[in-house]
Every structure is written in structure tokens, then in C-alpha cells.
């Protein structure tokens, strides 16, 4: 089912580990060169910057070609939907060919083609079968097929290509499903949480088989997403779109939308879930799950006052920052005082160069978003300034 062979992905994983170890000085130059020759992969990869550029250019090219076709042909509404479905099939076939023939791996081109295929599929089903009617609070039950198809196809792309954001897209599609079954907001939150919980059970059952292979990080990230999704589904204070007015204005609209028993049950759950997530992450020594456990713990502190209907103050973020800083310093010092700076397999020292990779990626994205704020402006010459003596 996986488009890439296990040996190819294991080879790429070994090359990444070699790069990290060499960057930290764990390998000599001779050792690195010898091991690098033994881990040659036939897959074509690129750096994160070119990957983003190729992804964006492919999206623009595919979108522009589709727009030009519709401007020239001007088809009817139903015919437009059929053409969208044809474009979805073509994009997916092109993505498969890019991987099987050109051996692209996280190259940006095949990723953009899969994203376009999902978008064309949903747009085509909506236009061909439902006359382009948008989502409404009381939609037709048959329109359930659109987000359901998007979720299933996104899961297939995640399983086939190994793209983590395809799984995230599937989780987003699931959010729209309960609206076709029930108009009760409480039931919708419960249904979404049940879907994510079922996925979490499946992932937890499969993960032990891949604990030490190339799929370990993929399943770790998926489990972290599911934990975060469950938390966001049960935290009613984070489900409102008008968070500013709700939190800072002291509004109790979220409490009035739900039954009193359901509302306070979710308040108890948002306090119980962070310790469970953190315990799971610590037990598995999983950085992604631990990070999600810390995030949901912070969100619980942030949303506690709105839950209780208490007035928020401008100094609340300052107090939260002081608390988090104190906790971080305490944990760091506690780990550092352990034997050789290690306690129960955890250490505060950096052991690999993975952080450098994320910093380089963040710098590339920041350069794309705000190049003018980073590049200094040319200085204008002053007539009074003279060089030399």
C-alpha cells in the first residue's frame, strides 16, 4: 500500500541520522564518508526551501491551467463538476507517476499534485451532485458524501505517500460530518471526539510494531494530532469563533449553548486530559506527544477563567509566562542534577542536530513571509559625508 519501499525510506532515515551525528561530532569525517556511501538512495530529495517553492509553483500552475480551461470552455454546472473529477484523477495519476517514474520524495511537486487532487475531488462532487450548494447549518444528508470522501481520500494519501498534513486534512474533514447527523452542538462535539478517539485507539495498537523503524516518527505525529483534536473537541471555550469577545468581554454565550451537565463535564475533562497526555508521552519517550501534553496544559490554564465566567485581566498572560518559566527552569535543573545529567532516560542536553533543521526551515519561511523586514534598506548618501582624509 505504501508507494515508497521500506528499504528506501530506511535508507533516507539513516542518512538523516548520519547528518545529525556528524553535525554533533559523534562521527569523524572518514566514518561519515564511509557510512554515507553505504546509504545511497535512489529517491530524489531537495531542501526545505526549494520544496516550498516547487510546491507553490505547482499549485499555481495546476490552478492556472484549470482556470484557463473553464474560462475558455465555459461548461455548465454539472459539466463543471465532471471536469473537476477528471482533473482530480489526472492530478493523482501525475503524483503517482512523479513518484514511481521520477522517484520524487518530499520534492514539493508530487505533494502539490496530491493536494490539488483532494481539492478537485471535493469541488467536483459538490458541483456535479449537489449543484454547488455550500455547507449550511441544515444541509441535505446526501451532502455527507463530500466531507466523507475528502476524509477517506486524505487518509489514503497519508497512507500512500506518507504526507503528515494529509492526515491533518482528514481530521479537518471529520469536523464537518456531525453537522449532517445532528443539530445539537453537544452531540457534534461528542461525535468528533469519538472519531478521534477511535483513530487514537487504532494508532496506539499499530505503533508498537514500528517503534524502531522509519514509521515511528509518522505514527508519533499522528498520535499527537489525535490527542490535540480530542482536546479541542471537548474544550467548549476554544470552539467559538468570537474568542476575543467571549474571553475578554466576560461573555457566557458558550455556557448557554450547552446543557449545564455537559458543560461542566467538559470542564473536568480538560483538566484530566493534560496529565494523561503527558504521562503517555513520558512513558513512550515521545517528543511530539509530550509537546501536545504541554500545549493542552497551557490551553487549560488559558481557558479556565472563561469556563468559570471570571473576568480576565491584562496581567494574566504575564502570570502565566512566569509560571511556565519557573516550571521549565525547575525541570531543567532537576534533570541536570541527575547522574550524568540524565534521569529516567531524559536529559536537558541537546543530543542531535534536529533543532538546527527546524531553525533553518523557520528561517526560510520567515524570509518568504517578510523579506523586507529582514533585508536592510539601502542607505542614502549624504552630500556632507566624505570618505578618506
Express each pLDDT in 235-279 by its tens digit.
Answer: 998 865 444 444 444 445 566 678 889 999 999 999 999 999 999
Range scoring the smallest mean pLDDT among 34-43, 161-170, 205-214: 34-43
At residue 57 the predicted structure's pLDDT band, cuts being 50, 70 and 90, is very high
- Contact assessment for residue 43 and residue 12, using Cβ atoms and an 8 Å cutoff: yes
55 CB-near residues (< 8 Å, 6+ apart): 108, 109, 111, 112
Pairwise CA distance, residues 62 & 132, whole Å:
21
Pairwise CA distance, residues 250 & 313, whole Å:
11
- What is the overall mean pLDDT for the chain? 84
Collapsing DSSP to helix, strand or coil, 381 comes out as coil
Mean pLDDT for 368-380 is: 49
The percentage of the chain sitting over the pLDDT mark of 70, rounded to a whole number, equals 82
| pLDDT at residue 113 is higher than 70 | yes
* DSSP-H helix ranges across the chain: 6-23, 29-38, 48-73, 77-100, 109-130, 145-161, 164-176, 185-206, 216-234, 243-248, 253-257, 260-284, 287-308, 316-336, 354-369, 371-374
Question: Which phi and psi angles does 207 have, rounded to 5°?
Answer: -55, -40
- Please tell me the predicted confidence (pLDDT) of residue 306: 87
- Please tell me the predicted confidence (pLDDT) of residue 94: 97
Range scoring the smallest mean pLDDT among 52-61, 70-79, 248-257: 248-257
Pairwise CA distance, residues 112 & 54, whole Å:
8
Collapsing DSSP to helix, strand or coil, 211 comes out as coil
- Contact assessment for residue 223 and residue 286, using Cβ atoms and an 8 Å cutoff: yes
Pairwise CA distance, residues 172 & 158, whole Å:
14
- Please tell me the predicted confidence (pLDDT) of residue 220: 95
The percentage of the chain sitting over the pLDDT mark of 90, rounded to a whole number, equals 49
- Please tell me the predicted confidence (pLDDT) of residue 339: 86
At residue 211 the predicted structure's pLDDT band, cuts being 50, 70 and 90, is confident
- Model confidence, pTM: 0.84
Amino acid at each position: 500500500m505504501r508507494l515508497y519501499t521500506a528499504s528506501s525510506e530506511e535508507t533516507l532515515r539513516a542518512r538523516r541520522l548520519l547528518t545529525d551525528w556528524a553535525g554533533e561530532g559523534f562521527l569523524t569525517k572518514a566514518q561519515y564518508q564511509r557510512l554515507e556511501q553505504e546509504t545511497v538512495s535512489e529517491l530524489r530529495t531537495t531542501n526545505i526551501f526549494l520544496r516550498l517553492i516547487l510546491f507553490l509553483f505547482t499549485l499555481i500552475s495546476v490552478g492556472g491551467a484549470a482556470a484557463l480551461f473553464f474560462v475558455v470552455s465555459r461548461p455548465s454546472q454539472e459539466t463543471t463538476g465532471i471536469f473537476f473529477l477528471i482533473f482530480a484523477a489526472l492530478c493523482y495519476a501525475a503524483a503517482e507517476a512523479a513518484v514511481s517514474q521520477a522517484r520524487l520524495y518530499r520534492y514539493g511537486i508530487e505533494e502539490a499534485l496530491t493536494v490539488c487532487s483532494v481539492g478537485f475531488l471535493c469541488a467536483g462532487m459538490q458541483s456535479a451532485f449537489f449543484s454547488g450548494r455550500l455547507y449550511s447549518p441544515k444541509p441535505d444528508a446526501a451532502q455527507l458524501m463530500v466531507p466523507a470522501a475528502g476524509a477517506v481520500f486524505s487518509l489514503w494519501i497519508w497512507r500512500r505517500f506518507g504526507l503528515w498534513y494529509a492526515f491533518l486534512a482528514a481530521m479537518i474533514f471529520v469536523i464537518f460530518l456531525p453537522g449532517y447527523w445532528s443539530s445539537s452542538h453537544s452531540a457534534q462535539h461528542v461525535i468528533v471526539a469519538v472519531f478521534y478517539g477511535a483513530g487514537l485507539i487504532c494508532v496506539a495498537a499499530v505503533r508498537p510494531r514500528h517503534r524502531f523503524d522509519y514509521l515511528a516518527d509518522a505514527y508519533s505525529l499522528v498520535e499527537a494530532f489525535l490527542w490535540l483534536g480530542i482536546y479541542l473537541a471537548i474544550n467548549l471555550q476554544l470552539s467559538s469563533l468570537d474568542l476575543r469577545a467571549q474571553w475578554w468581554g466576560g461573555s457566557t454565550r458558550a455556557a448557554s449553548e450547552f446543557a449545564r451537565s455537559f458543560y461542566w463535564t467538559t470542564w473536568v475533562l480538560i483538566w484530566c486530559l493534560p496529565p494523561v497526555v503527558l504521562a503517555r508521552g513520558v512513558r513512550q519517550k515521545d517528543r511530539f506527544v509530550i509537546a501536545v501534553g504541554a500545549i493542552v496544559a497551557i490551553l487549560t490554564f488559558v481557558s479556565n477563567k472563561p469556563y468559570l465566567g471570571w473576568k480576565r485581566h491584562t496581567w494574566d498572560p504575564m502570570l502565566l509566562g512566569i509560571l511556565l518559566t519557573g516550571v521549565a527552569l525547575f525541570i531543567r535543573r532537576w534533570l541536570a542534577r541527575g547522574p550524568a545529567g540524565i534521569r529516567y532516560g531524559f536529559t536537558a542536553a541537546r543530543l542531535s542536530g534536529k533543532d538546527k533543521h527546524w531553525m533553518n526551515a523557520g528561517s526560510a519561511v520567515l524570509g518568504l513571509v517578510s523579506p523586507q523586514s529582514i533585508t536592510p534598506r539601502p542607505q542614502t548618501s549624504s552630500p556632507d559625508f566624505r570618505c578618506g582624509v
